[in-house]
Structure 1
Amino acid sequence: MNYRQLGKSALQISEIGFGCMSLKGNEEESKNIIHKAIELGVNFFDTADLYDKGDNEEKIGKALIGKRDKVILATKVGNQWKADGSDWEWNPRKEYILKSIDNSLRRLKTDYIDLYQLHGGTIEDPIDETIEAFELLKKQGKIRFYGISSIRPNVIRAYVKRSNIVSVMMQYSLLDRRPEDGCLSLLQQNNIGVLARGSVAQGLLVDKPAKEYLSFSIEEVKKAASTIQLISGNNRNSAQTAIRFVLHHPAVTSAVIGIRTMEQMIEAVQTIHTPSLSNPEFRLLQQSVKAIAYEQHK
């Protein structure tokens, strides 16, 4: 496994990160997948208090008993379930964040979180209050570093300017190059690591039937997938080529892959043993679909 420093932090995280949201098996199955990932060198695991109403954190916490010192553990906060459990609502208030951390620590069976992330955000939020909460948690030793999970350029710029975030998690793939519209360069200039999710674009770049995606037509999605397949050859399969595209950008620290099965995990980890994209291959992929820009929240 290869490891990269996450922005200005002291965290050295694996180039392939484990997105825990997709884990839907029983506890034993999930534990086996997680333990095998650790054995193969994956050290970055990302979850959120929102996932399965906290059960995902519970599952991860149990799986990491005796192995906590081997991993960089990340979770998220900001989405509050309604009292009746029917839906959630956005809550970036300081009071809520300070209360939520204790619940996440309990479920994850740890006394600190390596990376605590705001799970969304709008420009109308009380941003300074949110930052105060994260800074206080750092002083208390409950978190080591903090970041945000957002695709909104205006929110990202606000946190870059006003906070000490070390990372931004955002969707990035061949079919979603919106982060190239100013965000990736801004984060790179400010030494803030990018955690890229959605590398295979819901499977559309791999094996899922083509459908309209963002502003792309079915034909454009087919062309992107066929170009991925064209340059994969014997050295990489389509999923690994899609991940390689994401890792090619110097702003990206880790491709965080949503993993459901042992086979998916092993395939993702084996990406590290495949050739990096050559510059001609990278340009061919870029030219296969038009670049799109963010239309909202700019």
Structure 2
Amino acid sequence: MKYQTLGKSGLSVSKIAFGCMSLEKGNYAENEKLLLEAFEKGIILFDTADLYDNGENEITLGKALKPIREKVIISTKVGNQMRPDGKTWDWNPTKNYILAAVENSLKRLQTDYIDLYQLHGGTIDDPIDETIEAFEILKQQGKIRFYGISSIRPNVIREYVKRSDIVSIMMQYSVLDRRPEQSCFPLLQENNIGVLARGSLAKGILPGKSADAYLDRNQSEISKAVECIKAFSADGRSPAETAIQFALHHPAVSSAVVGIRTERQLNDAISAVEKPMLSELDYLQIAGSIPVNYYKEHL
């Protein structure tokens, strides 16, 4: 496994992060085995959210990692307040909600602190200063070490960069979604804010899953990107590994958050950083296989 410092946090994170949202609901024994195997193979960053499985995902992660808590980095998210029905939720980025929600996450995760606490979304109409104040209070209390946001909205990202001490942004980035390259990555690099890239496989499309469209990409563009990924999958590297390497190649990206449910998916993700990496020329040729796409909203 390879490691990189996450922005200005000082946290050394594995280049592959375990995306816990994909864990099979209710199968604790197998999930625990998979999580511990991931750790043994070098993954130390595990990402979850209070929203996933209505808190059960955090419970699973906390129980499995409790014996090795000091050796791993746990990131979770806040901002979606579950309704009493346990199935739907409302957006709530207020100070009071965040200060209350963190207590529940700490209990579920069986820990005294969260390494990286992330706002799970965000709009330009949010009480942003109030949200930031909540995170800063939690830092002062020692309940979180660092905070960031999970967002693909350039206008929201700019405000947090300007007004807060965030250390990371979780955002979608892949061959089929290069929107962050122009609107976000330069700003984040300038301010030493790390990117946690999700969606590097584009919902499984890049490794070969059929699809008629993805974001604003049509079938022709998807086919070209998939074929290019295949063409550059050399030295025993699979298309999935190549797609992950593409996301990791950009210097703004600290880690790729990969959804993992099976041992095979785990091994594929780890192999992506163990196989020969894409050269700069390979990266540029893959990137040039289809036109760049751009954000059209929340600018």
Rounded to whole Å, the distance in 1 between the matches of 2:190 and 2:278 is 23
After superposition, what is the alpha-carbon deviation per residue over 1:179-213, rounded to whole angstroms, capped at 9, x for unaligned?
A: 01220110001000000000000000002113201
After superposition, what is the alpha-carbon deviation per residue over 1:194-238, rounded to whole angstroms, capped at 9, x for unaligned?
A: 000000000000021132011111121111011100110233100
Rounded to whole Å, the distance in 2 between the matches of 1:249 and 1:193 is 11
Rounded to whole Å, the distance in 2 between the matches of 1:86 and 1:208 is 29
Rounded to whole Å, the distance in 1 between the matches of 2:57 and 2:159 is 30
Rounded to whole Å, the distance in 2 between the matches of 1:57 and 1:33 is 15
SS of residue matched to 1:33? helix
Q: Tell me which amino acid in the other structure corresponds to 2:100.
A: K
Contact 1:181 1:294 (8 Å CA) reproduced: no
- Pairwise mapping of residues 1-298 of structure 1 onto structure 2 (< 5 A)? 1-24=1-24, 26-298=27-299
Q: Tell me which amino acid in the other structure corresponds to 2:226.
A: A
Rounded to whole Å, the distance in 1 between the matches of 2:183 and 2:210 is 31
SS of residue matched to 2:96? helix
The two structures have a TM-score, normalised by structure 1, of 0.98
The two structures have a TM-score, normalised by structure 2, of 0.98
After superposition, what is the alpha-carbon deviation per residue over 1:248-293, rounded to whole angstroms, capped at 9, x for unaligned?
A: 1000000010111111011101111111111221111111111011
Range 230-239 or range 258-267, more displaced: 230-239
| Unmatched runs of 5 consecutive residues or more in structure 1 | none
SS of residue matched to 1:9? coil
Q: Tell me which amino acid in the other structure corresponds to 2:130.
A: E
Identity %: 59
Rounded to whole Å, the distance in 2 between the matches of 1:279 and 1:96 is 45
| Unmatched runs of 5 consecutive residues or more in structure 2 | none
After superposition, what is the alpha-carbon deviation per residue over 1:6-44, rounded to whole angstroms, capped at 9, x for unaligned?
A: 111121000011000000151110011111110011000
SS of residue matched to 1:288? coil
After superposition, what is the alpha-carbon deviation per residue over 1:96-117, rounded to whole angstroms, capped at 9, x for unaligned?
A: 0000000000000000000000
Root-mean-square deviation over aligned CA pairs: 0.8
Going from structure 1 to structure 2, the CA distance change for 1:91 and 1:222 (only over 3 Å counts) comes to: same
Range 282-291 or range 137-146, more displaced: 282-291
Q: Tell me which amino acid in the other structure corresponds to 1:153.
A: P
Rounded to whole Å, the distance in 2 between the matches of 1:58 and 1:163 is 29
Aligned length: 298
Q: Tell me which amino acid in the other structure corresponds to 2:59.
A: E
Contact 2:114 2:145 (8 Å CA) reproduced: yes
Q: Tell me which amino acid in the other structure corresponds to 1:33.
A: L
Rounded to whole Å, the distance in 2 between the matches of 1:269 and 1:36 is 11
Rounded to whole Å, the distance in 2 between the matches of 1:108 and 1:119 is 17
Rounded to whole Å, the distance in 2 between the matches of 1:181 and 1:79 is 29
Rounded to whole Å, the distance in 2 between the matches of 1:27 and 1:107 is 14
How far the C-alpha of 1:177 sits from its partner, in A, is: 0.3
How far the C-alpha of 1:85 sits from its partner, in A, is: 2.3
Contact 1:19 1:46 (8 Å CA) reproduced: yes
After superposition, what is the alpha-carbon deviation per residue over 1:136-158, rounded to whole angstroms, capped at 9, x for unaligned?
A: 00000000000000000000000
SS of residue matched to 1:115? strand
Rounded to whole Å, the distance in 2 between the matches of 1:73 and 1:211 is 36
After superposition, what is the alpha-carbon deviation per residue over 1:55-92, rounded to whole angstroms, capped at 9, x for unaligned?
A: 00011011112111110000000001112223111000
Contact 2:235 2:276 (8 Å CA) reproduced: no
Range 25-34 or range 115-124, more displaced: 25-34
Q: After TM superposition, where is structure 1 displaced by more than 6 Å over at least 4 residues in a row?
A: none
